[in-house]
Amino acid sequence: MENLIALLVAAPLLGAAVLLCGGRRLDRAGHWLGTLLAAVSFVIGVVLFLDMLGKGAEDRTLHQKLFSWIPVEGFQADVAFQLDQLSMTFVLLITGVGTLIHIYSIGYMEHDERRRRFFGYLNLFLAAMLILVIADNYLLLYVGWEGVGLASYLLIGFWQHKPSAATAAKKAFLVNRVGDMGLSIAIMLMFTTFGTFAFGPVLEATGETSEGKLTAIGLMLLLAACGKSAQVPLQSWLGDAMEGPTPVSALIHAATMVTAGVYLIVRSGAIFNAAPDAQLVVVVVGAVTLLFGAIVGCAKDDIKKALAGSTMSQIGYMILAAGLGPIGYVFAIMHLVTHGFFKAGLFLGAGSVMHGMNDEVDMRKYGGLRKYMPVTFITFGLGYLAIIGFPGLSGFFSKDKIIEAAFAKGGTEGWILGSVALLGAAITAFYMTRVMLLTFFGEKRWQPDAEGHEPHPHESPKSMTIPMIILAFGSVFAGGFFSIGDRFLNWLEPVTGHSHGHAPVSATTVTAATMVVLVIGVAIAWTMYGRKPVPVVAPRGSLLTRAARRDLLQDDFNHVVLVRGGEHLTRSLVYVDHTLVDGVVNGTAASMGGLSGRLRKLQNGYARTYAVSMFGGTAVLIAATLLMRAV
């Protein structure tokens, strides 16, 4: 059975190779091939899953070693896979949602002449993401980690002729590279500490080293997670990444790739458990980001950017949960999976709306779309109810658990974290209700575009609505299914461990409080956007609104400090290199060799004679020395 693991990766990798090298002949069938291979990977995943279910909880982990990758003295890096319950969860999420989004893209990208290449990139993404979650060591994980970064780069910049898309793609890759520095350093630290970076040996040996080392490793891993999962301070790329085609936003920038940071932290649980300082930083990052993303999400009029803010915020919840240690690991992953369903569904819904609205993204120019796109409205609506945590739907179970766990952290910390999580829930209810009202309710606000074409909103084709319906199904039922009899907890506990913490308040109280803040959030949004007509041009807004529209000024900071500062630095270095370094070295050489006069002549084009004489000189010198020795 373990021999199937490599096939999980091989199928989409083959697809990527064939589609990207195949040329125009494959244009007519390429999207079918890509979708088929994604589905093959999903089927293999299901087969492995069923096999895993048939075994006892303790011997469910499968290993497959393919070959020794970089064998150098003292350094052992293998291409080897490990499939346990945690990896399995991701495999099903990635290939399942991945396949649905392949199907959706068949319709969504129908009129794009480079559709074949799009599917090649999607397949490449699947392969890299699968490597990331089934690698059995950190270095191979790194390959997947950068592989998804590459796929993300290629897909954000898919419409490269748009300068904004090309810039966004570059930005995403660069910010991620800052995170990758963290991952590199973490791996180097593991190597010098443990002599290895394979999961098994490292995670078992955490007791044998100092807490300081583990804290350092943990913080470096967190840096990596911040880059990939768009957490403060490396969050700035995610909003721009919405330049990519919407299926990409759904798959990569909502459901799977951006959650890789959560995977990394949960996978490295043993390290964080032994490094409380690192854990503290993790929860702080999570808590800050969950508010940051939520605030940004409130202010955006671009439907995709509002959802991107939401993604950031929801991943903040997961990181927060992961930082809580064994109290939170399972719930971080559970929220990750339910979020995968409803957020992918919401993005596909947004894509469907844009598809019917001539690619308009400004929600102020939507309005009343529920009549025109009933299926999109219902599936998006279910996703909406799920994300705000409407009782009984997926988000209700998974988010509620994280809020409970935050309180269960105990002490002042617990109260602060729990309150932040509650506040986040209120803001989530607000901004999602806002999106819902602006898009589907109220009067129609769209106008003819510059060329006089009025949008004719219409429902999308079946290839797009069916994946939306399936994801809506997951948004409604997954949370309940996971929670009945603690199914999800029992499934993951052997890998991640679990503890209940010391909750200062009962679970019922937390749930009740969550319900109250939910109602408040929805009510405020309704007063602002439901009761009265929405202006097509955004009002100036408060200082906070204006800052939030600009991603809370982080881009402005980056621009002034890093971009401008960097430009000045490189420009002055170019000058220094040209005048100072070159000049000093030339000058030293000239004064030492008495060559100054000749050096000046170099510019005038008669240098060849001079060079020949130099050669002559050297030759004479060599001959003379040899002779002297001989005599």
Partner 1 sequence: MSFPLLTATAALPAIGAVATAAVPAARRTTAKWLALVFSLATLVLAGIALARFEPGGDRYQLTESHAWIKDFGVRYELGVDGIGVALMALTALLIPFVILAGWHDADPSPSSQQSSSRGGPNETKPYRWRPTQGFFALILMVEAMVILSFEATDVFLFYILFEAMLIPMYFLIGGFGDRAHTGSDENAAAQRSYAAVKFLLYNLVGGLIMLAAVIGLYVVAGTFSLSEIAEARASGSLSMATSTERWLFLGFFFAFAVKAPLWPLHTWLPNAMGEATSPVAVLITAVVDKVGTFAMLRFCLQLFPEASKWATPVIVVLALISIVYGALLAVGQRDIKRLIAYASISHFGFIVLGIFAMTSQGQSGATLYMVNHGISTAALMLVAGFLITRRGSRLIADYGGVQKVAPILAGTFLIGGLATLSLPGLAPFVSEFLVLVGAFSAYPAAGIIATTGIVLAALYVLVLYQRTMTGPVKAEVQGMADLKVRELVVVLPLIALLLFLGVYPKPLTEIVNPAVQHTMSDVQKKDPQPEVEAAK
Please report, as residue ranges, which positions from 56 to 75 form the binding site for partner 1 (by CB under 8 A). Answer: 67-75
**Given the rule CB under 8 A, which of 38-46, 388-396, 542-550, 570-578 is the region that contacts partner 1?**
570-578
- Using CB under 8 A, pick the residue from 47, 536, 584, 624 that binds partner 1: 584
Find the Cα–Cα–Cα–Cα dihedral 314, 318, 320, 326, rounded to 10°: 160
| 603 in contact with partner 1 (CB under 8 A) | yes
Euclidean distance between CA atoms 175 and 424, whole angstroms: 25
Residues 159-178 that bind partner 1 (CB under 8 A): 160-163, 165-167, 170, 173-174, 177-178
| 452 in contact with partner 1 (CB under 8 A) | no
Residues 213-272 that bind partner 1 (CB under 8 A): 213
Euclidean distance between CA atoms 519 and 255, whole angstroms: 27
Residues 109-138 that bind partner 1 (CB under 8 A): none
Rg (Cα) of the chain, in Å, rounded? 28
Q: Is 66 helix (H, G, I), strand (E, B) or coil?
A: strand
Q: Is 348 helix (H, G, I), strand (E, B) or coil?
A: helix
**Given the rule CB under 8 A, which of 97-105, 325-333, 535-543, 622-630 is the region that contacts partner 1?**
622-630
Q: Is the dihedral of CA 237, 242, 248, 251 positive or negative?
A: positive
Contact 53, 150 (CB under 8 A): no
| 594 in contact with partner 1 (CB under 8 A) | no
- Using CB under 8 A, pick the residue from 374, 392, 565, 593 that binds partner 1: 593
Query: What is the closest distance, in whole angstroms, from the C-beta atom of residue 155 to partner 1 in the complex?
Result: 14
- Using CB under 8 A, pick the residue from 14, 46, 203, 209 that binds partner 1: 209
| 587 in contact with partner 1 (CB under 8 A) | no
Distance of CA 333 to the CA centre of its chain: 15
Q: Is the dihedral of CA 378, 382, 385, 387 positive or negative?
A: negative
Nearer to partner 1, 150 or 515 (CB): 150
- Using CB under 8 A, pick the residue from 14, 36, 205, 416 that binds partner 1: 205
Nearest to 104 by CA among 489, 468, 446, 503: 468
**Cα angle vertex 85, ends 177, 16, to 5°?**
50
Nearest to 100 by CA among 334, 342, 344: 344
Q: Is 398 helix (H, G, I), strand (E, B) or coil?
A: helix
**Given the rule CB under 8 A, which of 30-38, 354-362, 446-454, 583-591 is the region that contacts partner 1?**
583-591
Euclidean distance between CA atoms 212 and 250, whole angstroms: 39
- Using CB under 8 A, pick the residue from 36, 150, 281, 507 that binds partner 1: 150
Nearer to partner 1, 25 or 608 (CB): 608
Euclidean distance between CA atoms 267 and 311, whole angstroms: 21
| 30 in contact with partner 1 (CB under 8 A) | no
Query: What is the closest distance, in whole angstroms, from the C-beta atom of residue 569 to partner 1 in the complex?
Result: 7
| 187 in contact with partner 1 (CB under 8 A) | yes
| 181 in contact with partner 1 (CB under 8 A) | yes
Assigned token pair, 231: 């957490």
Backbone phi and psi for residue 8, each to the nearest 5 degrees, phi listed first: -50, -45
- Using CB under 8 A, pick the residue from 550, 582, 587, 613 that binds partner 1: 582
**Given the rule CB under 8 A, which of 158-166, 279-287, 418-426, 473-481 is the region that contacts partner 1?**
158-166
| 561 in contact with partner 1 (CB under 8 A) | no
DSSP conformation letters of 181-213: HHHHHHHHHHHHHHS--BHHHHHHSGGGS-HHH
Query: What is the closest distance, in whole angstroms, from the C-beta atom of residue 133 to partner 1 in the complex?
Result: 16
Query: What is the closest distance, in whole angstroms, from the C-beta atom of residue 603 to partner 1 in the complex?
Result: 6
Contacts with partner 1 by CB under 8 A: the residue count is 81
